[in-house]
Structure 1
Amino acid sequence: MSADHSFVAEAMKQAVPWVKTMGVEFTEVSGDRVVAELPDREDLRNHVGGPHAAMVFGVGETASGAVVMAAFAPHLDKATPLVARSDIAYKKLALGPLRAEAVLGRPAAEVVAELESGVRPEFPVTVTITDAQGVTTGEMAVVWTLRPNR
C-alpha cells in the first residue's frame, strides 16, 4: 500500500508563499518523485522572452522541496529540512511553461536511520527541468539536510 501524499501541494503553498504567488502546480507527487509546473507568464520572463533564471531555479528548488516534504513528512516533528547547497546547469533557452521533475537520491529509510542515530544526514535530490516540448532546459542537484529539532 502506498502512502497518501495528496497533502503536499497545499502544504507547499502554505509553507512557501512564493509557490502560490508564482502559480506553481504539482502534477505528480510520490514519496520519491515530484513533478512541479511553472506557467508561462509575461511578468516571469527575462530579456529574451523565456522564464527568468530565478524562476527556473525556483521551480526546480520547489520541486526538490516538495519531494523532501513527501518523503519525510512523518519525521518533521523531529527535524527541519534545509537546503545545504545546490547547483544548476542551464542547458538550453527555456521558453513557455516549465516542468521540473525532482527525484530523491537516497532511500528515505536510510536518511531517517542516520537522523535517528544522531547523525545530521545529507541527501541529494536531482531535478530535470523541461519545456513544453519535453526538451531538457536545465538540470539541478540540490543537497538537503535534516536539522534535528531542539
Structure 2
Amino acid sequence: MSLDVGALLLETVPFARTVGIVFDEVGDGRAVCRLPDREDVRNHVAGPHAGALFTLAETASGAAMLSLLGDELGRAVPLTTGARVEYRKFAKGEVRAEARLLAERKAVAAELDAGGRPEFEVAVELTDGDGVVVSTVAITWTLRPHRR
C-alpha cells in the first residue's frame, strides 16, 4: 500500500501530534512509534502521563490496522470500540510502542463484503529505553460501513 499511514494519522488525529508521537515503522499489520520524553506530557512523578501512554498505544494500533486495511477506508470508517490496559512498570523517559494486528485481512474484508461490521484486536506493547515492558494494551477496532 502506498499510503503513508504515519503521516495520515498525524494529519487526521491532531492529538497524536500534540503529544509528539513519532512513527518509526509501519507495514504489514505492524507499527512501531514512540513518545519522546517531554516535560509537558509527564505526570506528577515525572513519568509519561497515563493518558499520553494510552494515546501512544491507540495511535500505534491504528497505524498497524491501517497498514493492512487502509484500502477499506472508501467503504468503512475505522473506530475503536474498547481497550484493555495493563500498566506493569513505572515508565520514565522515551517510550516505544509496537503494535500488531491480530486479524486476517481476508476475514475482515469478507465480513465487510457480506454487509457486516467486523471487529478485531490490535495488541500493543509499550517499552522503555531499556526494553522493559511498561504496559500492554489490547485495542478493539471495528470497521463501520459508510451509510448510503
Tell me the alpha carbon deviations over residues 84-129 of structure 1, each in whole angstroms, 9 at most, x when there is no partner: 1101000000000010111000111211111111111000000000
Letter in 2 for 1:102: A
- The answer on 1:144 being equivalent to 2:133 is no
Residues 30 and 98 of structure 2 are in contact (CA less than 8 Å); yes or no, is this contact kept in structure 1?
Answer: yes
* Alignment-derived partner of residue 66 in structure 1: 63
Q: Secondary structure at the match of 2:81?
A: strand
Tell me the alpha carbon deviations over residues 38-76 of structure 1, each in whole angstroms, 9 at most, x when there is no partner: 010011111111001101111001100111222211110
Residues 29 and 66 of structure 2 are in contact (CA less than 8 Å); yes or no, is this contact kept in structure 1?
Answer: no
Could you tell me which of 111, 114, 118 is aligned with 1:117? 114
Structure 2: runs of 5 or more not aligned: none
Aligned residues: 147
- The answer on 1:131 being equivalent to 2:128 is yes
| TM-score, normalising length: structure 2 | 0.96
Overall identity of the aligned pairs, in %? 45
Q: Secondary structure at the match of 1:21?
A: helix
CA drift at 1:20:
1.4
Could you tell me which of 33, 36, 41 is aligned with 1:39? 36
- The answer on 1:78 being equivalent to 2:75 is yes
| TM-score, normalising length: structure 1 | 0.95
When the two chains are superposed, the root-mean-square deviation of aligned CA atoms in Å is 1.0
Letter in 2 for 1:149: H
